[in-house]
Copies of this chain bind each other. A is one copy, B any other.
Amino acid sequence: MAKRPTIHDVAAVAGVSRGTVSRVLNDDRYVSPAAHAAVKRAIAETGYVLNRAARSLVTQRTGSVVMVLSEPQERLFEDPNYSVLLRTATRRLAERDISLVMMIAGNDGDRDRVVRYLRGGHADGVFLVSTHAGDRLVDALVDIPVAAVAQGAVIGRENVIPYAAADDREGARQMTRYLVERGRRRIATITGPLDTPGGALRLEGFADILGRKASRRLIEHGDYTQLGGESAMARLLERAPDIDAVFVASDLMAAGALSALRAAGRRVPEDVAVGGFDDSAVALTTHPPLTTIRQPLERVAEETVRLLLALIDGAEQVEPVILPTDLIVREST
């Protein structure tokens, strides 16, 4: 197993100097066509691959960004949205030869690890996913000279961390408006945790349409899990047995709500209409299939990456991006 060829080997084969090879590698100006060709040929011949560590050492850039999942285990486990995010971000970054490092920040120990990693300059940027309001990590971030963006607003830090997100509030309005138009009169909602944008903003959208009809009695909170949705629905039915529709802030919770309704002997959609949010894969496996709000997740991920790259490239400031949602009507309403 021969040693890996270095820039010196390439230079020797091409009959030029180290510097010229480096210039070719970095697409610098001022390289003669002849030298350029010779270097390219030498690279192919020797099978040379650049040593990133060596480059990093002098440039102070790493060519990598960290995706931080600030989420307790359970959700990550259930939520299929992460996959889309991960895949899209990996792809887009790979195009720029930037690699994506995964980190999980479920507890304070994890968080410290992330902070240490970033403080050590091991990454050029951070990509926060599903970060909750008040997350210490976000506060630590402002002291670290690293580009940072979030997928979905970080509640309370909207102006600190740029983000791309679906229009949660308008999406919730679309669904609520639709339920009203279908003649539903007593519409309840099951929200997500209120320290997440999906929790807070979707509730706001719901309230936007219903105004004072959105009474406390008709609002119940879930944790984005199926079981959470099920028990929230049960509580709702007990407190307000006369509801004829419910807007659930995620498809997975909606699946749970369907079980609770079935257990209570309510027919969907005849007795109670159920609207979800996400248009994830579950929306199709439930019976009946869910009417829901589709988020352009892939585009959200793409835009988030775009913002991050802009910051890494030196942009002083970037504007948040909010993308429109679509109402998808199926049989549950």
Question: Which residues from 62 to 91 on chain A have a C-beta closer than 8 Å to any C-beta of chain B?
Answer: 62, 64, 67, 69, 73, 76-80, 82-84, 86-87, 90-91
Contact of A52 among B76, B122, B252 (CB under 8 A): B122
| Chain B min CB distance to A325 (Å) | 18
- Closest residue of chain B to A117, judged by CB? B99
Interface size class of A (residues with CB under 8 A): 35 or more
One of A33-41, A43-51, A152-160, A311-319 contacting the partner: A43-51
- Closest residue of chain B to A251, judged by CB? B285
One of A9-17, A24-32, A102-110, A233-241 contacting the partner: A102-110
Interface flags, A98-132, vs B, CB<8A=1, else 0: 01111110000010010011011110000000000
Contact of A99 among B52, B101, B110 (CB under 8 A): B101
* Number of identical monomers bound together in the oligomeric complex: 2
A255 interface residue per 8 A CB criterion: yes
Tell me which of A47, A77, A121, A285 has the highest count of chain B C-beta atoms within 10 A of its own C-beta: A285
| Contact indicator B80/A145 (Cβ below 8 Å) | no
Docked complex Cα distance between A57 and B116 (Å)? 20
Docked complex Cα distance between A63 and B240 (Å)? 56
A180 interface residue per 8 A CB criterion: no
Chain B residues positioned under 8 Å from A53 (CB to CB): 52-54, 56-57, 62
| Chain B min CB distance to A113 (Å) | 6
A284 interface residue per 8 A CB criterion: yes
Docked complex Cα distance between A252 and B121 (Å)? 42
| Contact indicator B76/A120 (Cβ below 8 Å) | no
A264 interface residue per 8 A CB criterion: no
Docked complex Cα distance between A57 and B50 (Å)? 12
A141 interface residue per 8 A CB criterion: no
A4 interface residue per 8 A CB criterion: yes
For the complex of A and B, list the 4 residue pairs with the smallest distance between their C-beta atoms, beginning with the closest: A49-B120, A53-B56, A287-B287, A255-B285
- If A49-B116, A73-B87, A226-B285 are given as contacts, then 6 extra A-B residue pairs at C-beta distance below 8 Å, sorted by A number, are A47-B119, A52-B53, A52-B120, A57-B57, A77-B80, A86-B86
Q: Can you list 10 contacts pairing A with B, beta carbon distance less than 8 Å?
A: A54-B57, A77-B83, A77-B84, A78-B281, A79-B83, A86-B86, A86-B102, A87-B104, A90-B103, A100-B102
